[in-house]
Structure 1
């Protein structure tokens, strides 16, 4: 009876890892059935292979795609990580077509995507940091500003930046945040709340005609930090005009000039830049600052739209200071997600 039981178990594929291996073998056998002995497997799927090569080229050369027509380059760079979705699609089509050529070609865009974004798939969060900062576009049409203020205050940031503040709602935010943040300043539609003293508060001219950027010195226990808060102009995708971002680009250049002229060593930029780190139009800023998400975050950290985040257009960036960790906060009543980071303030002579 023992021998019969043993033979029965073996006949059904064994147990544990052996059974799983047997199932995988049968699945692969079904997928490749009809391929064996078929010399056409290398001649089929040439169009799919060409599509895989084109996808790889677009990802590799995204910086060279011109912006002259509808800012196509910037539009592509805004959603560049999502091109990775075409890789499994090409893989499935290659299997369906029973094309070895297409299967091999699909490896190329997969490797390119991993080279560009694979580092974001690992958790680079590190303990420590002298200052916790957060930023949130609260949405001018926010139906619950007091609740939104309480939600972001609960995150425990030492310094909190808010964008898209409607003048009539500023007192609501001030009241809701007063217990947590004894120091604050509002300039136009942006504001800064801090547990530590603020000084040298001033508007930053980003060539808009109205105030959507500010700068302040935060005197933290570890040292002084120049904190910039900015809300760059919105961008739109229109059928006739394409990606309309000219005003955003002009404001980004002006913001970059202001940061380059900053005398303090430790600088933190908080805000809604209406653009991603991949977007060449933000080069005036991104060329001199580091994104906390790219350096020490976990995942892509998409922040907009809150209902189904597709891009990280809200940014925390540093210059001089060292990022330690970065994360996305839970949704509020806004159409953006708040984001936070911990940074280490470096000594002036470091």
Structure 2
């Protein structure tokens, strides 16, 4: 039995790129041997185990054969007879098919080091096209390493187009699509994720809403990443020029977390209102009431950051911030102490908030 470090840890170590997780492949062993050594089996589809102390993943060397649609349609064969080279051959990209033994020697049967040096993302074998999830993984790696000058090999792009032309992409579970998309939003160049999907014709299959608005989303997304904005904003600004119903449907289909969904819907519905200066306190108060910054101040802050990135209208942003402060000075409880009730409180609250906001529109940014 022999263990080899594989995958991302080897790749990023060679690139001098930060990494956290380490994955291992075990050659010449059986599941029973690992269990007897205290390894804990995880998952149902693949022979993967957690190390009893480090909790790192150790997978038995295996081969795979396509047996059905989608990324789960594989028969997996794990045996002590499966070689390291056979295990590496089933991997997606050559840069992910490098192993390292315990003395630091690299095993690189498919030219991964050469592709790392040249900055090329290239598939290992024709079996690449059997797994549609690899399109999303390659797009994510493109987003991860674009700033290092990595490009996609022509022959790999052709295979990705071939996958996109089939119905294989439609077999991918929404959770897996979301996972790759979400991870890409935190990469150095998240815009390249969508550029790559568009180049291989996968964007119109998986995310037709974003394909239709493709040319409006790339530059804001690039700027968001340069500015170090969080992934929830990177996601929301994708929908600034997309119909709100389509945005809701997209988020539901992808099963996006509530935080992402809520901000995306707000940006879709209301961001265009902030492109120009507000003309009256009544107009702005109506918007603030819809955005509900009184109960959701953190979400409102994210909305302001999104709008600032999209339209760079400092005056409108200042109007919103100052108006919110003015509105917060009006206390509904104090109106109740004045003897007002029910609808009277709501009407007085709105009237006094508009009154408090009015000087902002008279004196402008001097307030």
TM normalised by structure 2 equals 0.22
Q: TM-score, normalised by structure 1?
A: 0.22
User: Quick one: higher RCO (CA 8 Å, sep 6+), 1 or 2?
Assistant: 1
Structure (1/2) with the larger strand percentage: 1
